[in-house]
């Protein structure tokens, strides 16, 4: 069944045509990845679908009864509200139904109540409420918030105390729990850590609706999409399968088209040569015939290529000593929150490291301490001899936002205007783009320019905080090519798993405020984590401890098993209680829905009162079930 259709959408801004008869048909439960270079019109196309932008021509059709949900990159909420309030807005209809049910049960208990009318209203509302799983909406909100990296302590924080990235994640959480029939996501993995990205992949794979997603995260697209649509030159072309399959199909298509184009061009050259040679001779009639054929020929267009992005080779300058950076006993806290605790870290020449961990675990903080932009509460950092650090922060503060891109390279990198224009052309700044003020550039353009400055600067140790943020896929590949051929030392923070697999040799994982090293790229790290037996730390500790320590560990393990059994029993008890209440509730609903019940007014009123009490007890039981699930024991498997 088709749920969405965009027909021949055209949109121009000034003299620039962005969309030229772009069309898309989406079926129910489809997962579509929308790809294309920065500036090709992906966000514009989505906004034409949502109605945020009016197309110059074309139309959008959504199946009656289906609703759209859109995550833009800027959604605002009343600053005085808490995060929990903002999230629960996604359940506005369910919460209204809940209030209506409470009101009706109260009215039914009144002596002069018209039970027949009230009960009919109650049954209709309650059926919709139960079908939408209204009793579990708080549990669903907690599940989504935890999946996107929020702790219970953050639920009651005011909206205006969250960072821009945290607000984006909260907006995503609110959209997910609204469960629209057609979900439109524009770069949903921005501001997510790797764990949250992987959670979102699983969530979207099981999502009961259709999904259209724009993303520069290639692995995310591979996991989520079952169809890929490519927006090029204002038009959309569809390919079956995920992003990797799209690359294969497009490469074959481009190769076949290129060969057909070359054959046709050769035919045209031969025909034109014949026409020039025999235009006035005895074969002039044939020449005119050839010309007529050329005039009618349906010309094959050459294969369109995206603007080439290349950072060229980085100049290392002086080679550093073997020891790049040494950290000893580094600790850092903010207010009462301990972020880094007694960190020891040594980085040697030529190492290619990635620092990973959840949002808020201290990755960016550690980088700032390494480069001297932040002081630790305790510990020391030593830099080796002849080390020249090139640092790219998430804020891209190595570029002056008041300058143009051209002036930034001329004044900061000691280049001539001609050299600067050439370098800007390599990273996609052509024509007047070179004169654009940095403050007016997109996030992707600023990221490319900031990285270009580092490359030109020639540091022998690059420290990069989310270098692929806001870049399109082509630019990400250019950064990978640059760093893959880089001979210096590399330390990267990134949530782009594909990128990490291409450029990194070792993982530094922040775990419980300390760092654990894992040889290999990100995929190898995930494999080792999956192979790690549960309680490895406890088991390894037992090997070399005294008999008393082993006995203590055994007692602790026994106590833990006892607590898990107790927890499992509590869960079984409350679930049995909920089932009994649900069964009795259904019996009462059948009873109250039967007109014969109201022949006996006393029985009808007693049944209505019991129904009200059952609903109250059921709500309390669900709350108790949710509280049990929030306890640490619920994270362990039941025995």
Q: Is 453:421 a contact under the CB 8 Å cutoff?
A: no
**Does residue 513 surpass a pLDDT of 80?**
no
- How distant, in Å, are the alpha carbons of 292, 301, 304, 324, 361 from that of 259? 24, 11, 13, 51, 52
Pairing type for strands 16-27 and 2-13 reads: antiparallel
pLDDT at 553: 61
Tokens of 606: 């007693």
Banded model confidence at residue 71, pLDDT cuts 50, 70, 90: confident
Which helix (H) or strand (E) covers residue 438, if one does? none
Average pLDDT over residues 579-608: 77
- Residue 466: pLDDT over 80: yes
Whole-Å CA distances, 113 to 108, 403, 435, 610: 5, 74, 75, 15
What pLDDT sits at residue 470?
Answer: 79
Short-list 471, 409, 469, 398, CA closest to 435:
409
Residue the block writes with tokens 């070399």? 544
Contact present, 316 and 460 (Cβ < 8 Å): yes
The tokens 């950072």 sit on which residue? 311
Spatial separation of the C-alpha atoms in residues 211 and 148, rounded to whole Å: 18
In angstroms, rounded to a whole number, what is the distance separating the alpha carbons of residues 444 and 422?
A: 19
Q: Which pLDDT does position 73 carry in this prediction?
A: 46
* Residue 510: closest CA among 361, 337, 339: 361
pLDDT of residue 544: 47
Which residues, 6 or more positions from 40, have their beta carbon under 8 angstroms from its beta carbon?
18, 231, 232, 234
Q: Summarize pLDDT for 136-169 with one digit per residue, the tens.
A: 888 889 999 999 999 888 999 988 888 878 888 9
Contacting residues for 576 by C-beta, under 8 A, at least 6 apart: none
This prediction has a pTM of 0.75
Q: Residue 75: pLDDT band by 50, 70, 90 thresholds?
A: low
The answer to whether residues 542 and 557 touch, using CB atoms and an 8 Å cutoff, is: no
Tokens of 35: 């790809």
The proportion of the chain whose per-residue pLDDT surpasses 70, expressed as a percent, equals 90
**Is pLDDT above 80 for 312?**
no
Is 501:523 a contact under the CB 8 Å cutoff? yes
Residue for token pair 């894992």: 518
Contact residues for 126 (Cβ-Cβ < 8 A; gap 6+)? 101, 589
> Residue 258 and residue 253: Cα distance in Å, rounded?
8
CB-based contact 368:362 (threshold 8 Å): no
Bridge partners (DSSP) of residue 348 are: 323
pLDDT band at 631 (very low <50, low <70, confident <90, very high): low
Question: Which residues are CB-contacts of 75 (< 8 A; sequence separation ≥ 6)?
Answer: 167, 168, 171
How confident is the model over 1-55, as pLDDT tens digits?
A: 999 999 999 999 988 899 999 999 999 999 999 998 877 899 899 999 999 999 9
Using DSSP's 3-state secondary structure scheme, residue 50 falls into helix
CA–CA dist 177, 388 (Å, integer): 48
- Return mean pLDDT, the chain: 85
HEC string of 335-389?
A: CCEEEEEEEEEEEECCCEEEEECCCCCCHHHHHHHHHCCCCCCEEEEEECCCCCE
Quote the pLDDT of residue 543: 45
pLDDT at residue 629, rounded to an integer = 67
Distance CA 490, CA 505 (A): 10
Q: What angle (nearest 5°) sits at the alpha carbon of residue 19, between those of residues 17 and 24?
A: 175
Q: What is the pLDDT of residue 38?
A: 77
**Beta carbons of 503 and 526 less than 8 angstroms apart:** no
Q: If pLDDT is split at 50, 70 and 90, which confidence band does 118 have? A: confident
């Amino acid at each position: 069944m088709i749920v969405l259709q965009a027909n021949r959408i055209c949109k121009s801004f000034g003299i620039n045509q962005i969309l030229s008869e772009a069309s898309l048909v989406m079926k129910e439960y489809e997962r579509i990845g929308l790809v294309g270079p920065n500036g090709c019109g992906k966000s514009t196309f989505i906004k034409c679908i949502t109605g945020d932008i009016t197309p110059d021509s074309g139309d959008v059709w959504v199946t009656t009864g289906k609703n759209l949900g859109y995550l833009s990159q800027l959604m605002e909420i009343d600053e005085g509200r808490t995060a929990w309030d903002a999230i629960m807005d996604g359940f506005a209809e369910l919460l209204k139904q809940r209030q209506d049910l409470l009101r009706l049960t109260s009215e039914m208990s009144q002596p002069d109540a018209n039970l027949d009318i009230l009960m009919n209203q109650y049954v209709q509302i309650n059926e919709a409420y139960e079908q939408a799983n209204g009793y579990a909406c708080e549990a669903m909100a907690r599940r989504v918030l935890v999946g996107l990296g929020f702790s219970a302590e953050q639920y009651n924080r005011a909206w205006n105390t969250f960072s821009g990235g945290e607000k984006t994640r909260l907006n995503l959480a609110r959209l997910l729990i609204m469960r629209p029939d057609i979900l439109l996501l524009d770069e949903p993995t921005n501001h997510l850590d790797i764990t949250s990205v992987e959670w979102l992949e699983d969530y979207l794979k099981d999502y009961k609706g259709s999904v259209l997603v724009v993303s520069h995260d290639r692995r995310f697209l591979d996991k989520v999409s079952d169809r890929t649509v490519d927006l090029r030159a204002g038009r959309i072309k569809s390919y079956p399968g995920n992003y990797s399959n799209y690359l294969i199909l497009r490469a074959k298509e481009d190769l076949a088209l290129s060969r057909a184009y070359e054959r046709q061009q050769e035919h045209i050259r031969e025909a034109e040569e014949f026409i020039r040679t025999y235009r006035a001779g005895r074969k002039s009639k044939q020449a005119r015939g050839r010309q007529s054929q050329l005039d009618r020929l349906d010309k094959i267009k050459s294969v369109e290529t995206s603007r080439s992005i290349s950072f060229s080779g980085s100049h290392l300058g002086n080679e550093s000593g073997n020891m790049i950076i040494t950290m000893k006993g580094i600790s850092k806290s903010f207010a009462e929150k301990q972020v880094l605790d007694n960190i020891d870290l040594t980085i040697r020449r030529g190492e290619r490291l990635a620092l990973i961990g959840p949002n808020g675990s201290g990755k960016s903080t550690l980088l700032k301490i390494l480069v001297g932009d932040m002081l630790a509460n305790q510990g020391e950092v030593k830099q080796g001899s002849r080390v020249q650090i090139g640092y790219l922060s998430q804020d891209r503060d190595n570029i002056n936002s008041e300058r143009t891109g051209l002036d930034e390279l001329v004044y900061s990198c000691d280049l001539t205007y001609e050299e600067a224009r050439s370098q800007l052309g390599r990273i996609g700044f052509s024509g007047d783009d070179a004169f654009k003020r940095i403050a007016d550039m997109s996030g992707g353009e600023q990221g490319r320019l900031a990285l270009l400055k580092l490359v030109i600067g020639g540091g022998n140790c690059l420290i990069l905080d989310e270098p692929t943020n806001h870049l399109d896929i082509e630019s990400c590949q250019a950064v990978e090519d640059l760093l893959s051929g880089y001979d210096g030392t590399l330390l990267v923070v990134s949530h782009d798993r594909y990128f990490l697999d291409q450029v990194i040799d070792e993982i530094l994982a922040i775990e419980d405020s300390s760092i654990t090293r894992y040889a290999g790229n990100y995929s190898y790290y995930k494999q080792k984590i999956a192979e790690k037996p549960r309680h490895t730390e406890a088991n390894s500790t037992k090997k070399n401890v005294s008999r008393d320590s082993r006995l203590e560990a055994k007692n602790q393990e026994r106590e833990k098993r006892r607590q898990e059994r107790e927890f499992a029993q509590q869960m079984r008890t409350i679930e049995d209680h909920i089932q009994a209440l649900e069964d009795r509730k259904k019996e009462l609903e059948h009873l109250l829905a039967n007109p014969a019940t109201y022949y006996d007014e006393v029985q009808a009123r007693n049944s209505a009162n019991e129904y009200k009490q059952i609903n109250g007890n059921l709500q309390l039981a669900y709350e108790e079930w949710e509280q049990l699930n929030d306890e640490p024991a619920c994270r362990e498997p039941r025995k």
